[in-house]
Amino acid sequence: MSGGAPKFVVITGGVLSGLGKGLVAAGLGMLLRSRGLRVTPIKFDGYLNVDAGTMNPYEHGEVYVLDDGTECDMDLGTYERFMDVTLEGDNNITSGKLLLSVISKERRGEYLGKTVQFIPHVTGEAKRWILRVAEEQGADVVIMEVGGTVGDIENAYFIEAIRQLSNELGRENFAFVHVTLVPELPSGEQKTKPTQHSVSVLRSMGIDPDVIVARSRRPLEPKARQKIALYCGVREENVISDPDVGSIYRVPLLLEEHGLAERVAEVLGMSSAKAQAPGHGEGDLAELRRLLDRWESSRESVAVAIVGKYTHLRDAYASLLAAIDHASMHLSLRVDVRWIEATDVERGLIDVRSELEGVQGIVVPGGFGRRGAEGKVESIRVAREEGIPFLGLCFGLQLAVVEYARSVCGLEGANSTEVDPETPHPVIDLLPEQRGVGGKGGTMRLGAHPAVLRPGTLVHRIYGADLVFERHRHRYEVNPMYHNLLRGCGLVFSGTSPDGKLVEFIELPDHPFFVATQAHPEFKSRVLRPHPLFTAFLRACSGEEI
């Protein structure tokens, strides 16, 4: 099919948010890619933020970072992990981006004096954006997920843009998939009325769904399926049951079993030959099923503590948890994640040594600001002194340097200037060229950056490469003024920027596994391609010599 005009799949949601539209989009994308199709996902978010970079994790979950440095919605992480693609900033459209583009054009006089309105100008900008991404990324199929639920005022104009586009390009080139909730009464009866109402709202916006994915606790009963088909105007076989499953990684297998990809291909008029052409994804589903069967039946397990400051919201660590899952799947190793709130450690509400008893590994992830920093430092000290495998990510590297400077190098009061601007030993600091840069986040190092790995180090052995690229999202760096002192005290800089100025990886030689990185390697992990750092870390947790 490659080389022809692209087809479009539009995924909307009804009844309530959080039903798993992103998983449906990612799962469908994985199924279509396994049939040899080039698939490009686009996520629309109705918020007025230009991107997710300034959002607190409690506001919108994890801020995901792409290779090009775009800070975006966490659903793009779901797409990349399942579909094994590398996305760009244009794959995430926000209301803020669209409106900023339209207003900028108006200020430049590009609308030639016309009254600028949502229709046709904002909708027109959205259509141009969609078509540009489809063309630039050479898509056979574009999967567009509309954030929120139909009826939300902030996504109405985007749905209108899609409606217009389907008329202009031909309805036969569009498949509309509506994800909705089928709740269950205490009696066990599945109720379809919420689905009927959400489809009614979608129709009032000029769109008739072709396929309905019904989220429910149990598999959809025949009676419920028949009612949805009858009252929502879709064929019964196009009502896809999407019940709760034990693992999100079984969602693509479930959707394949229930025929979602075949139903979508049929709506789009793709012949069986085109929809099932051999491609690089052939065999992925069989591999996924094999991995899951082994993983779920495994009896070997390890306990890993995650010491963070957003532990009450698991979505704040979505990519980290996914990376642990991917590595554990490939090792057929069960991981018992134990959450430790760094703020509670810092305030003396819990004893971190007691909390860490019985764990085989410790992860200290990223996180900005002063709150919880000392709790993380204390956790790192325990990992270093007790020989517990440790993996530090971003802020985790910075605080590992702080702990080492204090405890081993004897630099009393050493700290990051982000945590203590008056520290006598700013071992973590802004670089001179970062100071005075205006705008929130203006000093951030974002996106993929190179790291030269030092031969003979553990990190070099793990990656099996001299040069690697990892994604970053941080401001503060290991202060070059302290590099020689830290190295002289035994801290190994196992990876640096090509010019040697920036520390990218550190490790301790006389420790079972003590590795930290300025980067966020969790953003590069994939369901079928786990990140080597996480695989090596879990092997160390299980007692293997790395």
Average pLDDT over every residue of 338-355: 94
Predicted local distance difference test score (pLDDT) of residue 276: 52
**Both structure tokens of 77:** 């992480």
Q: Which of these is catalytic: 121, 326, 472, 520?
A: 520
The burial class, CB within 10 Å (0-12 / 13-18 / 19+), for 296 is: middle
- Is the pLDDT at 311 greater than 90, yes or no? no
Q: Which of these is catalytic: 71, 125, 504, 522?
A: 522
- Residue ranges of domains in the chain: 7-279, 292-541
- Is the pLDDT at 314 greater than 90, yes or no? no
Tell how far CA 416 is from the center of its chain. Answer: 28
Given a contact cutoff of 8 angstroms between Cβ atoms, the answer to whether 301 and 336 are in contact is yes
522 in active site: yes
Q: How confident is the model at residue 271 (pLDDT cuts 50, 70, 90)?
A: low
> CB-based contacts of 337: which residues, under 8 Å, 6+ apart?
304, 305, 306, 321, 324
Average pLDDT over every residue of 513-518: 98
Does the pTM of the predicted model rise above 0.85?
yes
Q: How confident is the model at residue 441 (pLDDT cuts 50, 70, 90)?
A: very low
Q: What is the pLDDT of residues 59-106, one digit of tens each?
A: 778 999 999 999 999 999 999 999 999 999 999 999 999 999 999 999
**Both structure tokens of 275:** 């929809």
Question: CA dist 337 to 363, 458, 515, 533, Å?
Answer: 10, 25, 19, 17
**Both structure tokens of 377:** 């430092």
Report strand pairing: 71-72 vs 64-65: antiparallel
- Percent of the chain at pLDDT above 90? 88
Predicted local distance difference test score (pLDDT) of residue 545: 87
Q: What is the pLDDT of residues 198-221, one digit of tens each?
A: 999 999 999 999 999 999 999 999
Predicted local distance difference test score (pLDDT) of residue 104: 96
Predicted local distance difference test score (pLDDT) of residue 272: 47
394 in active site: yes
Query: CB count, 10 Å around CB of 351?
Result: 11
Predicted local distance difference test score (pLDDT) of residue 280: 45
CA torsion sign, 164 to 168 to 171 to 177? negative
What stretch of H or E contains 170?
Answer: none
Predicted local distance difference test score (pLDDT) of residue 278: 45
Q: How confident is the model at residue 519 (pLDDT cuts 50, 70, 90)?
A: very high
Given a contact cutoff of 8 angstroms between Cβ atoms, the answer to whether 329 and 292 are in contact is yes
Average pLDDT over every residue of 297-320: 93
Class of domain 7-279: alpha beta
Predicted local distance difference test score (pLDDT) of residue 55: 82
- Is the pLDDT at 277 greater than 50, yes or no? no
CATH number of 292-541: 3.40.50.880
Q: How confident is the model at residue 438 (pLDDT cuts 50, 70, 90)?
A: low
Q: Which of these is catalytic: 72, 232, 394, 541?
A: 394
Name which residue leads in pLDDT, 481 or 433.
481
Same-fold call for 7-279 versus 292-541: yes
Query: Phi first, then psi: what are they for 225, rounded to 5°?
Result: -60, -45
Taking each helix axis from N to C end, the angle separating 193-204 and 222-232, rounded to the nearest 10 degrees, works out to: 20
Assess whether the previous peptide bond of 120 is cis (omega < 30° from 0).
yes
Average pLDDT over every residue of 110-127: 94
Average pLDDT over every residue of 373-388: 96
Predicted local distance difference test score (pLDDT) of residue 18: 87
The number of residues in the chain equals 546
Predicted local distance difference test score (pLDDT) of residue 2: 47
> CB-based contacts of 140: which residues, under 8 Å, 6+ apart?
1, 2, 4, 6, 7, 37, 38, 39
Predicted local distance difference test score (pLDDT) of residue 3: 54
Q: What is the pLDDT of residues 12-28, one digit of tens each?
A: 999 998 899 999 999 99
520 in active site: yes
Three-state SS for 504?
strand
- Which residue, among 54, 29, 7, has the nearest Cα to 440 in the 3D structure? 54
The amino acid present at 109, given as its one-letter code, is G
**Both structure tokens of 362:** 């410790």
| Cα gap 360→388, rounded to integer Å | 6
